[in-house]
């Protein structure tokens, strides 16, 4: 801070002498120059032109007046500041008490609301139990609904032909009644036996080497030594394990084959079905006279890649899903399309059918699973894994008892959904590097399997313990339980590998 060399006080309009460097109040030094013509401190000749204006900051706080330098004045200043601080503190205390009262009222309101919600949830659960009891007594399936599931608005019925709806209802009534009484078949392998599974057989070099790779497999139930595979080479291949011969190479796809399946029904010819990245599904029928499979139909209703292909439990309906955001149903007797859904908000990346035949599960690329009523085409539930980054649900499998749905629930784990709630019953971690390609339940509903980038792993239902893993084939694109769960068939590269009970 500057002080005037004449008055000793901070100058209001300071100037500095260019000759001596001293600071003066302009009015005082001008008066002295007019009277004496010299610098008051050095005595040197000084003119008004030798003075330089000092530009002080106008926002700088003015110094205390000289009166504030006395002890009484300082005490008065401190008293005023103390009084101001006390008044401010009092105002803050009043605001604090007001906010505390408002918070108390809000907490009481939240507590009351929580009690009401808890009571309503108890009443809801009691109503669901009563509905389930009545449904079980009357043999009617209760609809899926729960707070953990997003329900859609009611839509108009899909309009399935009456004879198709009748077949589905009859199959549902038969299978649902049998499922409620069914126990695990005694002839099937037990979890204890699965622990002892070892590599039994390997069939190498199937399909073409360019582009190489088997994408899917299906094992015949009527003749367990025969199986069909689809490949990146656009071919569906039938093979007989007992003779180690290729029975047929079925051509017709223009891009890789994503899915293959058998339709085997007593009294009717066996059908081989396939769906590919070329947006079509192909159907071949076994000709008993020539012993060959001949083309029967090509389904071209979808505008996107076929991502799911499943034969309905009636054995007369084929279900397809596609990336064009639709799914469709086809009559395997007439090969007519009997239903095609309206476009959904997102593509469908996988497909599974409930063992009773009334529900369709469809995976999406945004982690969700849409559950449809197959008869009406309505979405009855949307399952979304909690706290998971977006991923593609590329595979689904309903348990054979109808109570659970197996699907990926993150990039490196699979989840088991309890359809009776419905909610996620458990999540099985597979390790950060594991990429899931296929999930499946066995017929006894005692086992569930996962195939992926690190081979095949089998887990016990309910306990979720890992029973066995097969890693010698590397990445496994597809697998299936076969031979009353006494064998597991998997495809890796161009090889088909079979694991089972030791000899």
- What pLDDT is recorded for position 440? 95
- What pLDDT is recorded for position 162? 87
| CATH fold for domain 162-500 | Methylamine Dehydrogenase; Chain H (2.130.10)
User: DSSP string spanning 209-245?
Assistant: STT--EEEEEE-SSSTTEEEEEETTS-EEEEETTTTE
- What pLDDT is recorded for position 65? 61
CB 29 within 8 A of CB 51: yes
Q: How far apart are CA 283 and CA 262, in angstroms?
A: 10
In CATH, what number does 14-63 get? 3.30.40.10
pLDDT less than 50: residues of the chain: 139-142, 144-158
- What pLDDT is recorded for position 150? 34
- What pLDDT is recorded for position 251? 93
CB 487 within 8 A of CB 188: no
Q: How far apart are CA 52 and CA 55, in angstroms?
A: 9
Q: Which two tokens stand for residue 193?
A: 């036996």
Which tens digit of pLDDT belongs to each residue from 187-216?
888 999 999 999 999 999 899 988 989 999
CB 339 within 8 A of CB 360: no
Listed by start position, the domains of the chain span: 14-63, 69-138, 162-500
Residue 23: CB atoms within 10 Å: 18
Among 250, 224, 226, residue whose Cα is nearest residue 237: 250
Which tens digit of pLDDT belongs to each residue from 344-368?
999 999 999 999 899 999 999 999 9
């Amino acid at each position: 801070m500057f002080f005037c060399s004449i008055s000793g006080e901070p100058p209001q309009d300071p100037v500095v002498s260019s000759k001596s460097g001293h600071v003066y109040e302009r009015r005082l030094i001008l008066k002295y120059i007019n009277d004496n013509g010299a610098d008051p401190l050095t005595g040197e000749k000084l003119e008004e032109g030798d003075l330089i204006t000092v530009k002080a900051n106008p926002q700088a706080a003015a110094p205390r007046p000289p009166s504030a330098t006395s002890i009484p004045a300082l005490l008065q200043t401190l008293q005023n500041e103390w009084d101001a601080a006390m008044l401010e503190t009092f105002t803050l205390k009043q605001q604090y008490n007001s906010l505390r009262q408002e918070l108390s009222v809000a907490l009481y309101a939240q507590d009351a609301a929580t009690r009401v919600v808890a009571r309503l949830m108890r009443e809801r659960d009691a109503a669901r139990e009563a509905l389930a009891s009545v449904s079980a007594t009357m043999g009617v399936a209760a609809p899926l609904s729960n707070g953990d599931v997003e329900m859609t608005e009611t839509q108009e019925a899909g309009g399935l032909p009456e004879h198709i709806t009748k077949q589905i209802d009859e199959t549902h009534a038969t299978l649902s009644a049998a499922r409620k009484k069914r126990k695990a078949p005694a002839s099937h392998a037990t979890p204890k036996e699965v622990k002892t599974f070892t590599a039994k057989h390997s069939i190498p070099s199937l399909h073409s080497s360019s582009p190489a790779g088997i994408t899917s497999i299906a094992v015949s139930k009527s003749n367990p030594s025969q199986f069909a595979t689809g490949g990146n080479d656009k071919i569906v291949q039938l093979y007989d394990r007992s003779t180690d011969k290729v029975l047929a190479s079925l051509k017709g796809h223009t891009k890789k084959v994503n899915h293959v399946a058998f339709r085997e029904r007593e009294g009717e010819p066996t059908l081989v079905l396939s769906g590919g990245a070329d947006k079509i599904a192909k159907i071949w029928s076994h000709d008993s006279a020539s012993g060959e499979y001949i083309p029967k139909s090509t389904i071209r209703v979808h505008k996107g890649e076929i991502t799911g292909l499943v034969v309905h439990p009636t054995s007369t309906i084929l279900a397809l899903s596609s990336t064009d955001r639709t799914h469709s149903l086809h009559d395997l007797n007439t090969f007519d399309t009997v239903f095609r859904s309206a476009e959904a908000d997102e593509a469908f990346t996988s497909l599974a059918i409930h063992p009773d035949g009334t529900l369709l599960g469809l995976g999406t690329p945004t982690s969700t699973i849409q559950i449809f009523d197959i008869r009406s085409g309505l979405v009855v539930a949307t399952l979304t894994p909690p706290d998971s980054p977006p991923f593609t649900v590329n595979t689904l499998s309903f348990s054979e008892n109808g109570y659970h749905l197996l699907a990926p629930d993150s990039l490196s784990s699979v989840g088991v959904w309890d359809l009776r709630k419905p909610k996620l019953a458990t999540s099985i971690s597979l390790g950060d590097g594991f990429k899931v390609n296929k999930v499946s339940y066995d017929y006894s509903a005692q086992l569930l399997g996962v195939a992926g980038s690190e081979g095949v792993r089998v887990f016990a239902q309910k306990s979720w313990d890992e029973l066995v893993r097969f890693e010698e084939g590397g990445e496994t694109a597809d697998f299936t339980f076969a031979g009353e769960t006494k064998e597991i068939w998997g495809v890796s590269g161009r090889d088909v590998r079979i694991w089972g009970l030791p000899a």
